[in-house]
Structure 1
Amino acid sequence: MKVLYVVPPSTHFAGMERVVHDLACGLARRYRRRIEVSVLYCHRYVELPESLPYEVLFEQVGSLRAFPRKVARQLGRDRYDVVVIAQFEPTVLVWMLHRLARGKTRFVMHLHGNPKVEGTTSRRARLAFSLFNLLVPRMDKVIAVSPALARYLASRTGHADVADYLPNPVRQFGEVVRTAGSGGPVRFLTIGRLARQKGHDVLIEAFAQLIAQGIDAHLTIVGDGEEQDALSAQIGRLGLACKVRLAGKIAYPAAELAEAECFVSASRWEGFGVAIVEAMSAGLPVIATDCDFGPTDLIDMPEKGEVVPAEDVGALAAAMAGFAARARSRAEESVRREAAAFFRLDNVVAQHAAMLEGLAWRGDVVRG
């Protein structure tokens, strides 16, 4: 069978882009005799290796407006059994063009983000998302990357079985040997693009409250993005220049995970929470905000960490202070590492392969 993954226009090789790449690599290597995998990118990512086990297709697309036509042209150029496209709006635009051309390829909508937020970003998005409840059930398959997102889709569309939960593959940092000692400042870490979504501004405010309580602590923020200047100014304004480090983008943050004692995610919204799982794979406890969607699915017992209300500076500061006051024990590391292992690439790829083959070979008519 032939499968085409499509990555919508984006200049960042981050969560969604990396997930597609990892899935394609896993499928191409493990199931190469049964599944022929291609990935269509709209941007040339420097992070991609030169040699890859799957076929790379490239269409220079700078905006979503030109995207549907370019992808539909590729679907007309070659015959695929299944096409998997990330996110609602890009998927339905390509799907409509393909069905108008009487195309029969089966469509999988792979939802990584938060439809509540994505449907408010522009007039075009608001128009597209006004058809959400009508169009989502018409896909051949809808994948949600967290159980909470799958439940939301069922509630919103009124179709209990509209989406299947399939986990994202997450890099495992099982080789990390944590080096943070029992003395010195309590070391907090967060990893994520420097964007409003990730709530770094909330975290910095909470951290300032922590320091004001006389707690000796240090915060490292790994990532880059459009809010770097604003966050740097905030750190300076709060007098935290010696306590907070903006480490920039780090491709493989094993050293930072090893030096940390607690991972903090202050996101305003998510689709899943890849960085939370990466932290747990390194044995770190996690403090996360109860945002839509993902964190509460991942942190479901005290051994894994604590969840606090989103955008609540005081609650986040209190959770961090509570962690700092507790004895620095590593007794529960194995629980967190074991939970993260569920998201290993081999396990996730097997689930995606079963979904793709079941969809390609089932006997019912293509939805349209």
Structure 2
Amino acid sequence: MKVLYVVPPSTHFAGMERVVHDLACGLATRYRGRIEVSVLYCHRYVELPESLPYEVLFEEAGSLRAFPRKVARQLGRDRYDVVVIAQFEPTVLVWLLHRLARGKSRFVMHLHGNPKVEGTTSRRARLAFSLFNLLVPRMDKVIAVSPALARYLASRTGHADVADYLPNPVRQFGEVVRTAGTSGPVRFLTIGRLARQKGHDVLIEAFAQLIGQGIDAHLTIVGDGEERDALSAQIERLGLAGKVRLAGKIAYPAAELAEAECFVSASRWEGFGVAIVEAMSAGLPVIATDCDFGPTDLIDMPEKGEVVPAEDAGALAAAMADFASRARARAEEPVRREAAAFFRLDNVVAQHAAMLEGLAWRGDVARG
């Protein structure tokens, strides 16, 4: 069977882009001879190795406006049994063009983010989202990357079986040996793009409240993005220089995870929470905001961490202070590492392969 994964226009090789790449590598390697995998990118990512087990296709598309036509052109050049496209708006637009051209490929909408937020970003997005209820049930499959997102889709469309939850593959940091001691400043860590979605401004405000209580602590923020200057200014304004470090983008943050004692996610919204799982794979407890979607599915017992209201710096500061007041023991590390292991690439790829082969089999039966 031939499968085409499509990555919408993006200049960052981050969560969604990395997930597609990892899935394609796993499927092409483990199911060679059964599943032939191609990935269509709209940007030439420097992070991609020159030699890959899957076929790389490239269509220059700097924005979503040109994207559907270029993907449809690729679908006209070659026949694919299954097409998997990330996010709802790109999938809807390409699906419509493909059906107008009487294409026969089976379509999978792979939802990584938060359609409630993404559906308000532009007039085109609002139009696509208005068609959501009509078109989602007509997709051959909708994959949600968290149980909460799958439940939202079911409630919005009125179809309980509209979406299946399939986990994302997440890098494992099982080799990390934590080096932070039980004395000195309490070391907090967060990892995420420097964008409003990730709530770093709320976290910095919460950290300032923590320091204001006389608690000796340090915060490292790993990531880069458009809010870097604003966050730097906020750190200076709150007198946190030397206490908060903007570490920039780090491709493999094993050293930062080893030095940390607690991971904090202050996101305003998510689709899943890859960084949370990566932190748990290194044994770290997590404090996360109760945002749509993902964190509450991951932090489902006290041994894993704590969930606090989103955009509430006071609640976040209280949870961080509570962690700092404890003995900073590591007895629950195995629980967190085991929970993260569910998202190992081999386990996740097997689930995605079963979904793809099931769709191809249904297509063969329908054509027969």
TM-score by length of 2: 0.99
Give yes or no for contact 2:137–2:159 (8 Å, CA) kept in 1.
yes
| DSSP-derived class of the 1:366 partner | helix
How far did 1:172 drift? Answer: 0.1
Q: 1:364 to 1:129 in 2, by over 3 A?
A: farther
Separation of aligned partners in 2, 1:288 and 1:76: 44
Unaligned 5+ segments in structure 1 are none
Separation of aligned partners in 2, 1:3 and 1:101: 19
Alignment of 1:191-202 (within 5 A): 191-202=191-202
Deviates more, 1:89-98 or 1:200-209: 89-98
> What's the counterpart of residue 209 of structure 2?
209
Separation of aligned partners in 2, 1:347 and 1:328: 32
Q: What's the CA shift string for 1:61-111, capped at 9, x where partnerless?
A: 011110011000100101100000000110011111111111000000000
Give yes or no for contact 1:105–1:366 (8 Å, CA) kept in 2.
no
Q: What's the CA shift string for 1:264-321, capped at 9, x where partnerless?
A: 0000000000000000000000000000000000000000000000000100000000
> What's the counterpart of residue 283 of structure 1?
283
> What's the counterpart of residue 141 of structure 2?
141
Q: What's the CA shift string for 1:13-32, capped at 9, x where partnerless?
A: 11000000000000000001
| DSSP-derived class of the 1:108 partner | strand
Separation of aligned partners in 2, 1:48 and 1:263: 28
Separation of aligned partners in 2, 1:51 and 1:197: 34
Alignment of 1:127-166 (within 5 A): 127-166=127-166
Q: What's the CA shift string for 1:19-69, capped at 9, x where partnerless?
A: 000000000000011000000000000111111110000000011110011
Q: 1:217 to 1:367 in 2, by over 3 A?
A: farther
Alignment of 1:282-321 (within 5 A): 282-321=282-321
Separation of aligned partners in 1, 2:159 and 2:294: 21
Identity score, percent: 95
Give yes or no for contact 1:104–1:366 (8 Å, CA) kept in 2.
no
How far did 1:128 drift? Answer: 1.2
Separation of aligned partners in 2, 1:367 and 1:275: 42
| DSSP-derived class of the 1:245 partner | strand
RMSD of aligned Cα (Å): 1.4
Q: 1:367 to 1:229 in 2, by over 3 A?
A: farther
Q: 1:28 to 1:199 in 2, by over 3 A?
A: same
Q: Which runs of at least 4 in structure 1 moved beyond 2 Å after TM superposition?
A: 363-368
Alignment of 1:1-20 (within 5 A): 1-20=1-20
Separation of aligned partners in 2, 1:182 and 1:96: 58
How far did 1:207 drift? Answer: 0.1
Give yes or no for contact 1:83–1:107 (8 Å, CA) kept in 2.
yes
Deviates more, 1:356-365 or 1:227-236: 356-365
Q: What's the CA shift string for 1:181-223, capped at 9, x where partnerless?
A: 1111000000000000000000000000000000000000000
Separation of aligned partners in 1, 2:164 and 2:324: 39
Separation of aligned partners in 2, 1:47 and 1:219: 27
How far did 1:364 drift? Answer: 7.9
How far did 1:363 drift? Answer: 5.0
Give yes or no for contact 1:28–1:37 (8 Å, CA) kept in 2.
yes
Separation of aligned partners in 2, 1:299 and 1:97: 40
Deviates more, 1:117-126 or 1:221-230: 117-126
How far did 1:365 drift? Answer: 7.9
* Aligned positions, number: 368
| DSSP-derived class of the 2:366 partner | coil
Q: 1:301 to 1:96 in 2, by over 3 A?
A: same
How far did 1:124 drift? Answer: 1.1
Separation of aligned partners in 2, 1:339 and 1:127: 39
Give yes or no for contact 2:87–2:113 (8 Å, CA) kept in 1.
yes
Separation of aligned partners in 1, 2:64 and 2:331: 48
Unaligned 5+ segments in structure 2 are none
Q: 1:168 to 1:367 in 2, by over 3 A?
A: farther
Give yes or no for contact 2:288–2:308 (8 Å, CA) kept in 1.
yes
| DSSP-derived class of the 2:10 partner | coil
> What's the counterpart of residue 186 of structure 2?
186
| DSSP-derived class of the 1:271 partner | coil
Give yes or no for contact 2:269–2:293 (8 Å, CA) kept in 1.
yes
TM-score by length of 1: 0.99
| DSSP-derived class of the 1:188 partner | strand
How far did 1:367 drift? Answer: 12
| DSSP-derived class of the 1:189 partner | strand
